[in-house]
A and B are shown apart, each in its own frame.
Chain A
Amino acid sequence: MNDTLTIAGREFRSRLFLGTAGYPNQQVMLDALEASGSELVTLAIRRISLDGYSESLVDVIGDRAGLLPNTAGCLTAKEAVLTAQLAREALGVDWIKLEVIGDRELLYPDVEELLRATEELVADGFTVLPYCNDDPVTCRKLADLGAAAVMPLGAFIGSGLGIRNPHAIETICARSPVPVVLDAGIGTASDAALAMELGCAAVLLNTAVSKARDPVRMAAAMRDAVAAGRAARLAGRMPKRAFAEASSPQLGLIGT
């Protein structure tokens, strides 16, 4: 069955985007990437170490996946815009996972700055994928400003707490004119499946895989969970009932 995801005209067969941080080592990261089936990986942009030049992450990933640089750690629109522009110069990629945070402990988005940065980067020709609150109004504003997708959080970044407000995510999915990517909070495979069942177009996760006891196995589990959740969404779940309804026939019961 052909069920590709399209964001800004680019097609993806996999609906799982994977982060590259926090793996036990580089080989595990590459093995997890392969097991996940993901076609898009996130990177951060940081000051280069001036003490010595080590192997470039870009060369390590090679053509295994597309690159989605982020603006993680930025506190203002100004910082985020410059970081995105530097990422584009460094990688030749005009897609950006836009993060503008308002609290270093919670890593929660600063909506005002996020909207401002989205507007500026869209005007500068970027394909902007903002990490945002699980708030339908913010998501609509981001889409109106030209974001190519919206990426509401399921829970705090790196918390693994799952989707804390499934109804909000479902509402965002039902109303969004652009694809919704569940970003942050996924802890295990059932969380990823739930995101897809709620109507998300894709899932972006990192720590759930990189900090699993067996990251490669968890990456495969996430691949399967996203596929299963997506299939269930397309299949359409049965209606929920308050009481039992027997699935076996009621006629011909023995002893009646």
Chain B
Amino acid sequence: MSARIRVNGREEELNVPTVAALLAERGIAAGTRGVAVALNGAVLPFRRWDETPLSAGDALEIIRPVQGG
């Protein structure tokens, strides 16, 4: 069985080595204004996306600001 991770609550196959690679796959470059990431419940500053490996069972939250009151 292949390694799996959760991205924004959705389970998917892990097929990239780092957080930066996962974001890049979705067209989000490190430092994109308005995007932030939490790995396993803690904020992961964008400067560390590149050096942070992903492993089976990791949970990522990728957020952005939207309209709100």
Query: Which A residues contact B (CB, under 8 angstroms)?
Result: 19-23, 29, 42-48, 50, 53, 56-59, 67, 69-70, 72, 82-83, 85-91, 157-158, 206-207
Contact = CB atoms under 8 A, between A and B. Distances in A.
Most chain A beta-carbon neighbours within 10 Å: one of B26, B27, B66: B66
B62 interface: yes
B5 to A, nearest CB: 13
A208 to B, nearest CB: 10
A56 B61 CA distance: 18
Contacts of A86: 36-38, 43, 61, 63
Contacts of B26: 50, 53
Nearest to B28: A53
A46 B46 contact: no
Given A82-B38, A86-B38, A89-B46, A44 B33 contact: no
A69 B10 CA distance: 25
14 contacts: A19-B69, A21-B69, A44-B69, A45-B66, A47-B8, A53-B27, A69-B68, A82-B42, A85-B43, A86-B63, A87-B65, A89-B43, A91-B33, A158-B69
A56 B28 contact: no
The 6 closest A-B pairs by CB, nearest first: A44-B68, A19-B69, A206-B69, A90-B36, A89-B36, A21-B67
B69 A90 contact: no
B60 to A, nearest CB: 10
Nearest to A131: B69
B9 to A, nearest CB: 7
Interface size class of B (residues with CB under 8 A): 20 to 34
A204 to B, nearest CB: 8
A171 to B, nearest CB: 25
Contact of B34 (A70, A85, A91, A157): A91
Given A86-B43, A89-B46, A50 B8 contact: yes
B2 to A, nearest CB: 19
B16 interface: no
A47 B36 contact: no
B69 to A, nearest CB: 3
Given A58-B33, A89-B36, A89-B46, A207 B63 contact: no
Nearest to B27: A53
Contact of A69 (B7, B37, B46, B65): B65
Contacts of A58: 33-34, 65
Contacts of B46: 89
A80 B13 CA distance: 29
B3 interface: no
